[in-house]
């Protein structure tokens, strides 16, 4: 009889201790994340060297950043800042000082850059990278293979990238493989 009461009080005590240690994180306490617009790198060209990307392709790729912003906010790990200014919408991803300047101006702690690399008519990769602004260093990233630039493929690839590379199911935050994964 004594053990039954002891176990009950022990369980209640453990719950009380756990509840007192837990406090919800306020949005202001979260690191600030600036998500740049997704860029299209198109390796396909016409016979005279012009790109085959049309305005619809660019529009589909552009919507990817919105999905990334939405999914990153839902992770609860970042306070996602408003989209960058329109003139920086298609920032040169090879210009690290340009990205860092924009991030500092926005007050961001982290930046998320992304690009769709079309290597053939049917094979494309969404490449994502999360960088720590203060350390000027990549902290996470990866690539997702996709088929086509249709809305469902782009939304699915962006959602998969966030789930796989920035919000891992592993509660201990274990290391992820550097190899890309394929979105279903």
Predicted confidence band of residue 61 (pLDDT cuts 50, 70, 90): confident
pTM for the full predicted model: 0.73
Most confident of 4-18, 67-81, 84-98: 67-81
CB 68 within 8 A of CB 161: yes
Mean pLDDT of the chain: 77
Convert 98-128 into a string of H (helix), E (strand) and C (coil).
HHHHHHHHHCCCEEEEEEEEECCCCCEEEEE
Query: Is 21 a member of any domain?
Result: no
DSSP-derived letter for residue 92 is: -
Kindly report, residue by residue over 77-108, the tens digit of the pLDDT: 999 999 887 555 567 788 889 899 999 999 99
Residue 148 domain-assigned? yes
Looking at the structure of the chain, the number of domains it has is: 1
In a domain, 3, yes or no: no
- Better-scored residue on pLDDT, 52 or 39: 39
More confident residue, 60 or 96: 96
| pLDDT tens digits for range 132-168 | 999 999 999 999 998 878 888 889 999 999 999 988 6
Domain with 103, as residue range(s), is: 26-182
6 occurs within a structural domain: no
Does 32 reside within a domain?
yes
Q: How far is CA 67 from CA 46, 94, 95, 136, 161, in A?
A: 31, 23, 24, 25, 10
Q: Specify if 7 maps to a domain.
A: no
Percent of the chain with pLDDT over 70: 67
Answer whether residue 10 shows pLDDT above 50: no
Side-chain-side CA neighbours of 100 within 13 Å: the count stands at 12
Closest CA to 149 of 49, 62, 70: 62
CATH of the domain at 64: 3.40.50.10070
Taking the CA atoms of residue 114, residue 118, residue 123 and residue 126 in that order, the dihedral angle to the nearest 10 degrees is 0
Asked if 51 contacts 44 with a C-beta cutoff of 8 angstroms, the reply is yes
Dump pLDDT digits (tens) for 27-43. Answer: 568 999 999 988 888 87
Task: Tell whether 20 is covered by a domain.
Answer: no
The whole-angstrom separation of Cα 171 and Cα 168 is 7
Give the pLDDT score at 183: 44
Three-state SS at 55: helix
Rg over CA atoms, the chain: 21
Residue 100 maps to a domain: yes
């Amino acid at each position: 009889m004594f053990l039954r009461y002891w176990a009950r009080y022990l369980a209640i005590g453990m719950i009380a201790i756990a509840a007192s240690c837990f406090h919800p994180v306020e949005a202001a306490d979260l690191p600030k994340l600036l998500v740049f617009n997704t860029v299209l790198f198109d390796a396909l060209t016409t016979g005279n060297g012009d790109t085959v990307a049309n305005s619809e392709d660019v529009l589909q790729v552009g919507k990817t950043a919105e999905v990334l912003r939405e999914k990153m906010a839902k992770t609860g790990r970042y306070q996602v800042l408003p989209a960058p200014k329109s003139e920086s919408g298609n920032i040169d991803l090879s210009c690290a000082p340009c990205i860092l300047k924009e991030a500092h101006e926005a007050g961001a702690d982290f930046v998320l850059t992304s690009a769709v690399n079309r290597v053939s008519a049917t094979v494309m990769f969404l490449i994502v990278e999360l960088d720590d602004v203060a350390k000027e260093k990549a902290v996470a990233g990866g690539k997702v293979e996709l088929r086509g630039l249709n809305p469902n493929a782009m939304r699915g690839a962006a959602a998969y990238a966030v789930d796989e590379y920035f919000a891992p199911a592993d509660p201990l935050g274990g290391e992820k493989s550097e190899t890309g994964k394929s979105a279903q």
